[in-house]
Structure 1
């Protein structure tokens, strides 16, 4: 068939990269379970002589189910990867165009046989994107539409470092070899982690290429120590090799779904400065607007330091000590805000986690800010006001409302619950847990420290003494009896947690007060008045 790209399978095996080849589906198979993970389809693609197995992304499942894609359909692969490593070959289709829904098969294709001594490990570039490839001047007619003839690019030597630069936006987890070039925007302090599974050192930095696309690079243990001493902010580097994986958004706030982890074979070399690679670009937020930003957002701010507190040390749960210092910033909105610095940043300019601190950056905004400050700091107009983010008042909720809100929220939230203590677990007063009940449902809650004292009427030490003293006038059972079946106003912290792949609602009492019936009746009367004035009821 003239429409098919002649000898395409053989050229792919030889390491050539074809731009938008046309192939025909000769077989379709479903390897999904059809249940939890849905259907997943593989196809055999034919160039009229040979055929090769290929995988389809899920977004084309509807086309197969609706028979838009079927045996005999002719496709143009606009974006694909040909995997060829140690004798394992497969086409991974990313995007395609349907040229013809059905077409007769001229000859039954066969799988291409390759001798073992001809097996090679594929190098770059594994990703072929027709939208990024230059077109040739030669056109041909096929099914009433024009397309460029494919281009053939010779493969690189096996095991060599790629000489071409891959744009960061084209990186994908299927690439065995790649090379990127970019400027380091942020390099973070080396950090020692200690978990139940492992411990070690981690170092990371952010890099941007000439197209302005950023990515996060991480390395561990010995590699972390090596690169921490060599990587410098503002310097251009060439990186090759490493594992490309999904970004961990807990530590990586960049607008990129992938990140790079360096391995022993990775190459990181400094390059001559390239003016086409952009330097750090800021999107500054005025200090008076910070209170309107959502929690856990990453923002850029610039300000003049007007006060610096003494450095203090905080002891973490694992026993390590971390320096901490608070500074106060002001900007041209005459708003001040407290900024807490941790770790090495508390002592000098630096970076930690998702925050970087630069002193006197060479940017235009700094010059404007300094001019404003020098003109206003010694005048009566130089009065500043402290930014205090208004804390949202916790809402009253019923237990059923708490459960519904938690199922739709990934963030912890605070609320007030009017409920009756139904039961208290009394095996150990060092960990209080009790179910509360209102008119909608029952829920278990835990309570510590001040909240437990307010609820029980005495500290845990006193309860322990009552529990161990057989001659005490009041027993722990009496204390529990006095608390149960009484109504309380409870301030709660609620959040969903996952344990053994099951979600459950964790509720902690932060404050407990006996119900004041007089004030509670006033609240109920106001609600009754609202019901009468609400025309929708």
Structure 2
């Protein structure tokens, strides 16, 4: 391929910090340098322009697939479409060496087609670059002495950035003197480099959180930022909260320098980065007002229907229309911390919905009256009693985002989705009750459940008849605090204590917790039914039943007995439990609804087809 020509000597300009367009270089060698479960492979390159070669070159994560699929091999010739360079340190001091991070490239010729090294390149050392910089500075000085270099100096891409000019650019809102070539890509950050400048977009900013423990009190906030190479979480404490919180705005671009880079605590961050940054007294943050190509927040949305089959604690991007929004709930954590949350229901074109939990100020400020489109990046999948939900506690959330997926979803919901009456809620029952046939709670008989030999847990639905409801201990005295259902401890002086809230009360609320025996045509099972579903079965509130049992236990017990032999569709979760060294099945019913005969008939038809193998055919040969 004799028509392939490298851009002779171009690596010298690139490694001095110049911006050049579409340089053509050869990949002499490609080596994998990193592999772990949380981040993609990283590759280091030996590049040549025919005159010089460098080994301080890396591929950004978005182009590493070219190596994985065999497209980019040794001796391949590429054109570099986009790149970033950043200075590195040696023994804590800056030198003239840079790292070249390739963001986008095209392959002009494959390695097997070239089959050899082009030219006779020599290693481009820091000394060679320093000599070139010295020669260039001498030339500029000579031109200035001759009185014609003022404009040339201002426009030169090699103009050195003095400490004074850097400090000025970091402490003013004018970025006209800031050299973008000084910026460091997120992907190349490490704890071993203490001198760096980021040019990033703020994807998400948390509310201010406070803490109090034996070591003292404090406050903090965090923000998730991104550039073309990756994303990272930045956290500020105490003084840094006062200094930076109000100035940081979501979706704006900032220059950030100074801070401690350390290993990320994955318990609090879902970002794909092994590191995070803590702001300190040396941190400077300045908004960038110039035209820039820093990307906006990118999403990889997963249909809500698909979430039903994903593992708990998985991280996904989700978009949906707010179909319903619950009220704000104020409650205390087990540690006694005051919390606020709000449940909202999202629906998308997969005709499934899921519950999203908002927390803190985000929950307080949310208004679902206009049924907005909501996009969540890095939502965590939770599972309870076989139901899936998502939480956005530390995830960037966008209301009516300006992205194509949001406009498409808005059009679907306004024209079609809002009229649907068969949406399945994978966080619980659907709007029509056919959620009992969801993938994680299929309709089963008690014989089928026992045949599963459950060792962990099993979610299922069942058509059952209530044979007996135990009236003894059907209610308990619970904490009166909103959102707290903890059983109270009686203190003996008409006062009660809640261990969860850590408080004492003079009153309480009754709460149902019913044990009942349910049977179908194959067997029976004892179930525990919580307050919300027990109230549906009994037709009374927990408070009404508690007061009735307290005032007239005989009459209340007789009333409860009238609910025996009622039929419901139960949604349950069973697991094996050990009692007195004997294994037994423990079942909790977390939903009880009137029988949906459409679902029941389909279930029995499917069973008949399964047992007989009979399939009917239409005139055109289609089976049904």
TM-score (normalizing by structure 1): 0.47
TM-score (normalizing by structure 2): 0.41
